[in-house]
Amino acid sequence: MKKNLKTEFSTRQYMLSRDFEIYYYNDKTIPDVKAHTHDYYEFYFFMGGHIIMYIDGKSFVPVPGTMIIIPPGAAHFARLLDSDSPYKRFVFWVTEDFLHTLSNISEDYLFLTDKTKPSGRFFIHKFTEIEFNAIQGKVFTLIDEINSDRFGKDAKILISVSDFMLSINRMVHETENPSITDSEPDSLYQSIILYIESHIDEDLSLDRLSDIFHVNKFHISHLFSDTNGLPLHKYVIKKRLAMCKDAILNGQDISATAAAYGFTDYSVFYRAFVKEYGISPKNYRNEVVRNKQ
């Protein structure tokens, strides 16, 4: 049985681990925490509740889907304004040393934390609902692996945290740099990929994409098959299923989720989900909800 993914809130404001720590909190009440600083980065992801956040003398009320990056030395604390709805958030602590270890693989890992330099100010970004659902799925996967005793645990944790970090850096970078020039390799393919991810609930047929990008549909078909080995239709189905899985992992209604991500026929979604993951959406959701309690 998987361990509980929820963490009991603690006022501890220092790390026990050498590299990083990640927590999922879901509270109706929390003890007061005074303004404090860290010698590491805090990535804060707000999921829901009614709070006010104070950072470096500034105050604001976050909305669901907000990410805040608090650099070392920045004083901060949160106040719960009411307990009508649970205060839900992820908190990811990571040391500069670990970030520099990742940067030896790619400097792209430092894209977000570099935004807090040299001023030392915090950085705020609002993700789309689809993006935030994907992030939550990655976080739950990481927490689940940390709490497991499975073979290859340490390697899987490193892969999961690397994927999580690179994904949030990529999402923000692509939001800030939406244009892909024709001079870049595979620009058409990348443009279509970005369009699919941001219009996942719409018509993504070859005919539709051909009209949008003014490219022969047979060229698009060959481009996908040659680039990733999948026909466009199968790629779209896999992308929709992955997004649905992340949304279900976040407790969203199954039928509504299927419709929101482009499955107009629930029976088609159901069969595709079982074929892809070997379990029904309902059983998958029940297992996740049980593990989160």
Provide the sign of the torsion angle of the four alpha carbons 178, 237, 48, 28, taken in this order: negative
Lowest mean pLDDT among 98-112, 208-222, 268-282: 208-222
Cis status of the peptide bond prior to 118, with omega within 30 of 0: yes
**Closest to 138 (Cα-Cα) out of 213, 236, 254, 43:** 43
The pTM for the full model equals 0.63
Encode pLDDT of 134-185 as tens digits: 888 888 888 888 888 889 999 999 999 999 999 999 999 988 877 544 444 3
Query: What does DSSP say about strands 66-70 and 20-27: parallel, antiparallel, or unpaired?
Result: unpaired
Average pLDDT estimate for 246-271 = 87
Distance CA 28, CA 84 (A): 8
